[in-house]
Amino acid sequence: MLCGYSYIANGYYNTSNLNSKNIFPAAALHLDLNYFMSTNSSHQSELTSPKGRVVAVMPAYNAASTLERTVADIPTGSVDEIVLVDDCSSDNTVEVAKRLGLTVIQHEQNTGYGGNQKTCYRYALEAGADYVVMIHPDYQYDSRVVTIAVELIRLGISDVILGSRIRTRAEALEGGMPLYKYIANRILTIVENMALGQNLGDFHSGFRAYRREVLEKIPFEKNSDDFVFDSQFLAQTVRFGFKLGDIPVPVRYFEEASSINFKRSARYGLLTLGVLVQYWGNRLGILKSEIFSGNNQYLVD
């Protein structure tokens, strides 16, 4: 599907690995972060900004109505750069992002959700990110927890942090999560935890933070360009020996929030189960899979 956007010469950022994209780099944000958490009137502890460069990436498609609210919730100084990759939106997502001062990468054709993430991570690595946070720009996830996610990685507690939408059943449903999605999420997450030896609350979150080494070692370019990219990526992180963790993230479901329909959700679920079969087939040495064969020296049995 070709996009209607034309090339814009001013501000074009040229990199060898980001051909066929229109990129509008914004000045990086270099604000010092100081969070003060009071325990009583006489004592105050300081949480400083994570050492290292933090890049927030936003895979976007028709996010004009929610982008500004999403960006506004990111704690001041918690990230050094915010990059939005527009996947051929039909609204004015690009214009809003540029007005907000974000770095904008504009796809010439629609690449899909997974394809969009590939561009996000490719750019973040080239931009020198030490930590990468993916935030959906549809204002569904509470981006105020960015600093907490990155700090857990910086401390070496985890290499990957996921935002869990499901702290309790009541909270998830009251937040607007459709019942069929809640049930499917619970079933898939239980199966994935058992198959991958994890104990995560939500395997299908759109809020994720990574250490740079995760993106360097995992062959994510071989993954699907569709939604199952996320399931493949998490299976890869386990196969390559990285530590996964999660934190609760308040979530909002409303009309403008992106969501896939029942048919695509069912297909996604079946493909996710297929990823688990690939994972175990590769681990047992009976099935070769490109997504697990990028850097064999890092594989963990």
Per domain, the residue ranges of the chain are 21-292
At residue 153, the pLDDT reads: 98
Tokens of 76: 């001041």
pTM: 0.81
Q: What DSSP character marks residue 11?
A: T
Residue appearing with tokens 């009583």: 40
- Distance from first CA to last CA of the chain, Å, rounded? 41
89 in Cβ contact with 62 (< 8 Å) = yes
Whole-number Å distance between alpha carbons of 263 and 260: 8
118 in Cβ contact with 218 (< 8 Å) = no
At residue 45, the pLDDT reads: 33
283 in Cβ contact with 301 (< 8 Å) = yes
* Residue 44 CB-density burial (10 A; 0-12 exposed, 13-18 middle, 19+ buried): exposed
Fold (topology level) of 21-292: Spore Coat Polysaccharide Biosynthesis Protein SpsA; Chain A (3.90.550)
At residue 109, the pLDDT reads: 95
At residue 296, the pLDDT reads: 53
At residue 195, the pLDDT reads: 98
The β-bridge partners of 85 are 59, 105
Distances (CA, A) of 227 to 50, 113, 270: 30, 6, 12
Sign of torsion over alpha carbons 7, 9, 13, 16: positive
Residues 6+ apart with CB under 8 A from 202: 162, 163, 164, 165, 166, 185, 189, 246
What are the 10-residue block averages of pLDDT along the chain, 301 residues in total?
37 39 45 33 38 96 96 96 97 98 97 97 98 95 95 97 86 80 91 97 94 97 97 98 95 65 86 97 93 69 65
Whole-number Å distance between alpha carbons of 280 and 235: 10
